[in-house]
Structure formats: structure tokens, C-alpha cells
């Protein structure tokens, strides 16, 4: 593999960090005005619970995977084997997290309908391979993907977020935007092998 440019990777990450600072300045006032405090609270609360279960299910796999891939990225056979082992391990730990999440939140809860929608987010986290591309130092791919998905998210927000009455549809839209922002790498999966 060719040597990655630290300067280019730094610039890609800088560009992305600037983008994630600017976009909320544009979207937050619009969403707040159209959804109201109660609906934003429901979304924020339910997504925070799901995020804890993703953290629990990940068990540091992303950091470990990134480091291991960086160590062996020159050896294709070890790279494939290590990648597969890490994906299987993450799938097992995320499955345990999903089971606990379902038992606690989806079966008996006030926001059961929202937790049911968000269980898809937990399933998708099982297949998140961002760590792989970071280990290969393929920051251009991750930043390009994130910029495209964030741009689509902003467009969808302005198209679909119109009133409080359609909160369930808006909730699904916000979830889909977050889902694709996080798990769009399956398209790039074929490049691994």
C-alpha cells in the first residue's frame, strides 16, 4: 500500500470538523421552531438511551479494530482474517446489547413506539466498519461519505420538518439521517476483499 499523507488526512478531518460545527447553526433554530421543546426532548432522550447501548455493545471494538488494522494493513491475508474476527466479535457484543435494550425499553415503556424505531440503529451499529477505514488511513472516504450524508440530512430536514403534528414521521426522518451518517460504509465493503 502506498504511504498515506498525514497532511491530507488532517485537512480532510479539519474540513469535516468545520462542517459539523456550521450545520447545527443552520438546522437547530429551524428544527426547534417547528418541533417544539417536548418533541425535541423525546427524540434527544430516546436517542441518548440507544447511544448508551451502542457504547456498551461496542466495548472499545472501534479503537481496538483501528489499531489492529493499522498494524497489519500491509499483509492482506492477516488483514482479512483480523477484519472478520473483529466484525464477528462486534456482532456478538451488539447482539447482547440489543437483547438487553429490547427487554428493558421496547417491551414496557412510555416511548415504546420510538424505541422500536431506534432498535434498527442498534442493529446497524453491529455492522459499522468506520474503524477499518480509519485503520487504513482512508480519511478521504470517511469524510466524503460524511459530507454527502450530512448535506442530504440538511435537505431532508428542510423538506420534511414542517410541524409538530407530523412528529412521528419527522422522528423517523431524523433517525434515518443519523443512521446513514453512521452506517453508509456497507457500499464500500467490497473494496476490503
Name the more confident of 172 and 126.
126
Q: What pLDDT shows up at residue 67?
A: 93
Q: Global pTM?
A: 0.74
Detail the DSSP E strand segments found in the chain: none
Please report the pLDDT score of residue 173 as a whole number. Answer: 64
Average pLDDT value over all residues in the chain: 81
The predicted-structure confidence for 29-48, as pLDDT tens digits, reads as follows: 888 888 788 888 888 898 89
- Dist. CA 82–CA 90, nearest whole Å: 12
Would you state the pLDDT for residue 188? 42
Q: At a CB cut-off of 8 Å and minimum separation 6, what does 141 contact?
A: 133, 188
pLDDT in tens, 150-190: 888 788 778 777 766 666 666 666 666 666 655 444 444 43
Amino acid at each position: 500500500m502506498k504511504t498515506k499523507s498525514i497532511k491530507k488526512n488532517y485537512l480532510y478531518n479539519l474540513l469535516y470538523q468545520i462542517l459539523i460545527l456550521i450545520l447545527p447553526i443552520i438546522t437547530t433554530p429551524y428544527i426547534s421552531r417547528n418541533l417544539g421543546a417536548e418533541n425535541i426532548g423525546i427524540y434527544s432522550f430516546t436517542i441518548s438511551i440507544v447511544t448508551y447501548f451502542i457504547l456498551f455493545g461496542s466495548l472499545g471494538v472501534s479503537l481496538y479494530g483501528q489499531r489492529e488494522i493499522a498494524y497489519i494493513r500491509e499483509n492482506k491475508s492477516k488483514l482479512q482474517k483480523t477484519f472478520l474476527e473483529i466484525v464477528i466479535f462486534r456482532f456478538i457484543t451488539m447482539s447482547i446489547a440489543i437483547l438487553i435494550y429490547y427487554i428493558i425499553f421496547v417491551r414496557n415503556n412510555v416511548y415504546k413506539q420510538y424505541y422500536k424505531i431506534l432498535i434498527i440503529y442498534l442493529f446497524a451499529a453491529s455492522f459499522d466498519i468506520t474503524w477499518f477505514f480509519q485503520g487504513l488511513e482512508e480519511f478521504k472516504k470517511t469524510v466524503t461519505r460524511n459530507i454527502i450524508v450530512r448535506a442530504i440530512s440538511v435537505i431532508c430536514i428542510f423538506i420534511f420538518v414542517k410541524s409538530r403534528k407530523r412528529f412521528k414521521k419527522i422522528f423517523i426522518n431524523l433517525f434515518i439521517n443519523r443512521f446513514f451518517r453512521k452506517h453508509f460504509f456497507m457500499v464500500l465493503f467490497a473494496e476490503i476483499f
